[in-house]
Amino acid sequence: MTKQDDERETIGLTRRQFLGAAAVAVASATLPGAIAAAADTPAAGALALPPLPYPANALEPIISANTIGFHYGKHHKGYVDNVVKLTAGTEFASQPLEKILTATAGVADKAAIFNNSSQAWNHAFYWNSLRPKGGGAPPDALKKAIDASFGSLDACKTELSAAATSQFGSGWAWLVKAGDKLKVVKTSNADNPLTQGMHPLLTLDVWEHAYYLDYQNRRADYVAAILADLVNWDFAAANLAKS
Ligand code: MN
């Protein structure tokens, strides 16, 4: 298994899915060119822009293809491109993002590498935290863990919503496994719970670029819609199983 295969497996994707999603993205005339370019990106080790796990319009009407076009095609791609540039010729050049971000967290002269590698990791994780026709009931093992830690699924969603809406400025809300329990945490800017020894299960991007084209200032509406209809509990359950 190559490093790239390993990275793709980490976020639950195969090359076939990548090509399928990219082909659909290319077929849509409304998308910025950067998504189409992703289909032509050669295998470049762990630091390639990973494929979007669904067509760019698959999350509509909750998240528009326009938002995905900028968010994936410009913002996410930008973080990946920056990591490639910033790590070229360094010890981090061929390392998986998880290793780069944990090695550079809190290191003052590596802040740019940390910010971009962590954002690249966070975005790949975010795309997989969503899915068309998501929401509903988590798989049994995850439901049991949620009930044990929060009391109920509704209580867990209430905590996720509170974290996502109360994060001041840019950041992320996460469902994580910390020790033997599940917890909701929030992080600022590029920060990631991996750097604190926690295992991320699911994340919500609450940077304005994630929702402003569709919701303007109504972050709470974006969060509520995701938790109702897009959240990918299967992805969280798979992360819990390997944590
Ligand atoms: Mn984002």
pLDDT for the residue numbered 234: 98
Left (φ > 0), alpha (ψ -120 to 50) or beta: where does 106 sit? left
Q: Taking ligand 1, which is a single-atom ion, which protein residues have CB atoms under 5 Å away?
A: 205, 207, 210
User: In the predicted model, is pLDDT for residue 219 greater than 90?
Assistant: yes
* Cα 213 to ligand 1 centroid, rounded to whole Å: 13
Q: Which amino acid is at 132?
A: P
| Closest among 116, 234, 113, 219 to 173, alpha carbons compared | 219
* Strand ranges for 45-92 from DSSP E: none
In the reported structure, the alpha carbon of residue 189 is separated from the centroid of ligand 1 by a whole-number distance in angstroms of 10
pLDDT at 115: 98
Q: Judge whether residue 102 has pLDDT over 80.
A: yes
User: Of 169, 168, 198, whose CA–CA distance to 184 is shortest?
Assistant: 198
Residue 6, pLDDT above cutoff 50: no
Q: Compute, in angstroms, the gap from residue 151 CA to the centroid of ligand 1.
A: 30
Residue 111: how many CB atoms within 10 A of its CB? Answer: 13
Asked whether the predicted pLDDT for residue 8 surpasses 90, the reply is: no
How far CA 199 is from CA of 119, 139, 238, in Å, comes to: 16, 18, 12
Pairing of strands 171-178, 181-188: antiparallel
At residue 243, does pLDDT exceed 80?
yes
Q: How far apart are CA 123 and CA 114, in angstroms?
A: 14
Ligand 1 center to 71 CA (angstroms): 6
Q: What is the mean pLDDT of residues 125-141?
A: 98
Average pLDDT over residues 126-146: 98
Residues 166-191 pLDDT 10s: 999 999 999 999 999 999 999 999 99
Q: How far is the CA of 205 from the centre of ligand 1 (A)?
A: 6
Task: Give the residue from 96, 120, 115, 123 showing the smallest Cα distance to 191.
Answer: 115
> Which domains can be identified in the chain, with CATH numbers?
3-53+65-129 (1.10.287.990), 140-241 (3.55.40.20)
What was the pLDDT predicted at 46? 59
Does 153 score more than 80 pLDDT?
Answer: yes
Query: 45: pLDDT confidence band, cut at 50, 70 and 90?
Result: low
- Tokens 């976020």 sit at which residue? 11
Q: What is the pLDDT of residue 47?
A: 85
* pLDDT of 23 over the 50 cut: no
Stronger pLDDT, 137 or 18, i.e. the higher one: 137
With CA atoms as reference, report the closest residue to 176 among 204, 155, 208, 210.
204
